[in-house]
Structure 1
Amino acid sequence: MLKGIPAILSPELLKVLCEMGHSDRLVISDGNFPAESMGKNAIVIRCDGHGVPELLDAILKVFPLDTYTDKPVNLMEVMPGDTVETPIWDTYKKIVTKYDNRGEKAVGGIERFKFYEEAKTAYAIIATSEKALYANIMLQKGVVVEE
């Protein structure tokens, strides 16, 4: 155990977050996301039993978002014609607002199949047990600035 580090962040996950460099991307996926097939060239970390919001909150405590891009946080957009509700997106925006001065403006969307293509180039994919649909989120890492 470490002081100030959320207990949900495993040693394996902390190592990966630390290894990531500026502009590297991290996907936190819902339970339906094909993490293993998308992550053939990425590090896949299993976080079974956890949801995306609790992991997102813990990760953003230690993970700076990229300030050189307008949308360092991206959600998988709902397919046209799909009637799925996405209230979890509001939860994500509130969490991002806690850690980034841009608030909701830092959050964008990527069409579903483009999201899959982007995910294939991510540094790491965290596979969760999140049951909400369209609950996948991609973060782009920034730099740590001394305060």
Structure 2
Amino acid sequence: MLKGMDPRLSAEIVHVLMLMGHGDDLVICDVNHPAATIAAETTYGRLVDMAGCDIPTAARAILTLMPLDSFVPAPVSRMQVVGDPDGVVPIFARMQAVVDLAEGRAVQVQALERFAFYEAAKRSFAIIRTSDSGPYGCFILKKGVVDLPEL
């Protein structure tokens, strides 16, 4: 355990976040997402579980350490509702509030069709699966630059 760090962040999650570079993508998903299958194709190569968390709680913890990319118009992607591309489910607003608060600004979130989302997830750095029951709890966060002082 470390001071000042959310206790939900396991050593493996912190390790994954430290390995990621600017522009790398991180998937945070619910239990319905085919996470284990897709995770095998990511850079990290295996699934990371964040049991006991819903998606907003997991994202809130992760975003205390990881900034979102400010060089792209939409640093967050989510899955569209199948059969209703303009459909909205409660998790969308909950995540919007989390990312906006974490960044201190309005963050654009883009919607991806289900299979386009799966393809994007395969190209991500890693997948973190929460205990969230969904539905449509599938988000991709693009890592930004951490502004550090010179050594």
* TM-score, scaled relative to structure 1: 0.92
- The offset of 1:8, in angstroms, is 0.3
1:16 aligns with 2:16: yes
2:94 matched residue in structure 1: 91
Q: Check 1:81–1:66 CA distance in 2 against 1; reply closer, same or farther (3 A cut).
A: closer
Letter in 1 for 2:129: A
1:73 aligns with 2:76: yes
1:38 aligns with 2:38: yes
- The offset of 1:101, in angstroms, is 3.8
2:28 matched residue in structure 1: 28
Output one character per residue of 1:84-122: Cα deviation in whole Å (capped at 9) or x when no partner: 75111111011111122441x422211111000000111
Distance 2:73 2:8 in 1: 28
Structure 1: which 5+ runs fail to align?
Answer: none
After superposition, where does 1:1-147 map in structure 2 within 5 Å? 1-42=1-42, 43=44, 44-81=47-84, 86-103=89-106, 105-146=107-148
SS class of match (2:26): strand
Structure 2: which 5+ runs fail to align?
Answer: none
Letter in 2 for 1:12: E
Output one character per residue of 1:23-44: Cα deviation in whole Å (capped at 9) or x when no partner: 1000001110001111112231
SS class of match (2:129): strand
- The offset of 1:81, in angstroms, is 4.5
- The offset of 1:49, in angstroms, is 2.6
User: What stretches of structure 1 move > 2 A for 4+ residues in a row?
Assistant: none
Q: Check 1:99–1:49 CA distance in 2 against 1; reply closer, same or farther (3 A cut).
A: closer
Output one character per residue of 1:34-66: Cα deviation in whole Å (capped at 9) or x when no partner: 011111122310122321111000001110101
* TM-score, scaled relative to structure 2: 0.89
Q: Is the 8 A contact 2:80 2:114 kept in 1?
A: yes
**More moved, 1-10 vs 93-102:** 93-102
CA RMSD, 1 decimal: 1.8
